Amino acid sequence: MWVQPSSNLNLSSSEVHLWKMNLDLSKEKVHKKYLILSEDEKKRANSFKFEIHQNRFIIARSTLKFILSCYLDIPAEEINFQYSPYGKPQLVNNLQSEGLKFNVSHSENLAIYGISRHHLIGIDIEYLRPMKEAEKLAERFFSSKEFEAIKSLSTEKKEKAFFQLWTAKEAYLKAIGKGISGGLEQVEISLREPMELIKVPEKNQSSWELLSFTPHPNYIAAMVVEAKKANITYYEFQQR
């Protein structure tokens, strides 16, 4: 499913490219990636208390720049971002002529990137872990229908369903630029396959495509893009 990219990447408005990257690299490689970050990004990296979190931010952010450089045909070092009021990064004005939209999420040692052209996109990933409070959290943050659906499942299925709903909701809220501050309970998802948005706080749910997928064993991820029936290609980023 995940393939190595070709040397010449083309992305049409009807396509979405999903990328994944392992965030565990040697100190030497982390240092090289640190050098391509902007001063603001270096400051943010240095603000992390633990080295593992600092390194994962450095790798995830520098990889985003490398990926975008493949589409923009400019060095990764020349790519800079500006941020929405809710903190969502986007390309600075002089780099927006290509219409690239992107989003990134990482959990533990895996990062997922979504790239589209002209269409809003959101990505979220979670490492599957024991979630004894899944039912209580669902009752607090999810709709009554979602809570009832989770409540009826076995413990094993309940935990997976919780993360499926959580990632799908957050992916949508990231796509519209608000993140979880937009209210998880404002987004309602059908757990029946294929999963789909059945209620959203903005625009029309019929204009959005939802994909819930397993990028790697023990992970759940979701992508939401404002384009129906997009052609999706899965790439694994080659370490540089």
pLDDT, tens digit only, all 240 positions of the chain: 899 888 778 899 999 999 999 999 999 999 999 999 999 999 999 999 999 999 999 999 999 999 999 999 999 999 999 998 888 899 998 898 889 999 999 999 999 999 999 999 999 999 999 888 899 999 998 999 999 999 999 887 899 999 999 999 999 999 998 887 778 888 999 988 889 998 887 767 678 999 999 999 999 999 999 998 899 999 999 876
Q: Find, among 30, 56, 58, the residue nearest to 43 by Cα.
A: 58
Spatial distance between the Cα atoms of 154 and 219, rounded to a whole number of angstroms? 19
Q: Find, among 97, 187, 180, the residue nearest to 142 by Cα.
A: 187
Q: Find, among 63, 110, 142, 135, the residue nearest to 214 by Cα.
A: 110
This prediction has a pTM of 0.94
For residue 192, give every residue at least 6 positions away whose Cβ sits within 8 Å of its Cβ, in sequence order, or none: none
Query: 221-232 b/e with 16+ CB inside 10 Å = b?
Result: bbbbbbbeebeb
Copy the structure tokens of residue 214.
């397993």
Copy the structure tokens of residue 180.
């979880």
Q: For the chain, list the domains and their CATH numbers.
A: 15-236 (3.90.470.20)
